[in-house]
Amino acid sequence: MAEREPRRYELGKRAESMEETRRRIAAATFELHTLIGPKATTISAIAERAGVQRWTVYRHFPDDLSLFTACVAHGFGVMPSPDPESWLAIADPQERVRTALAELYAFYRETESAWDNILRDLPTMPALIEANAPVVELWARMTELLSEGWGAKGRRKQLVQAVAAHALDFHAWRQLARDGQLTDAEIVELMTSLIRSAAGAR
């Protein structure tokens, strides 16, 4: 039994080292995606930033999908978006929308350059689109929560959902904040009034 313990310790240290290498590669990929965009990010640049060789990147992530999936997972940890489930505690739909959009727009303002670089390249990279499925699901949940409680049905419910999705869209916020030079508070009130109007509420 005494002879087996060092072997078990070595295996544990090796697994820990491999996991740390994976983490460094995922972190390097995410950092480069946010700084220069996914299309400009090369395996050589990832390897250099992570402090590993190119073949090490390929050994841990043999294809784009596996690399991008790890990158997105890392992004959730270091650039966490607002938690839509926390909005459930707000019963009034109008106040829920105001709170949600205020949190989201503050998040957009803080991470604007990262979103801009990633979303610019996203449509041309199928593997990146697939890897971002959890992000799409999260924003769909946000849309769902902002659309509830208005009492809208049928076509009017579809209108509420469409406007809510627009209010949550990064590019919609950016156009109003940068081109329109509106404050986040002004955009929150504008979008809230649009959703309220779509729902037919006074």
What's the token pair of residue 75?
A: 């992004």
Every domain of the chain and the residues it spans:
4-78, 84-199
Q: Which two tokens stand for residue 52?
A: 């590993």
Entry pTM: 0.88
Confidence of residue 17 (pLDDT cuts 50, 70, 90): confident
Identify residue 133 by its one-letter amino acid code: A
pLDDT single digits (tens) 54-108: 999 999 999 999 999 999 999 999 999 999 999 999 999 999 999 999 999 999 9
As a whole number of angstroms, the distance between CA 104 and CA 126 comes to: 26
Q: What is the mean pLDDT of residues 183-195?
A: 98
For 4-78, CATH gives 1.10.357.10
Question: Percent of the chain at pLDDT above 90?
Answer: 90
Helix (H, G, I), strand (E, B) or coil at 156: helix
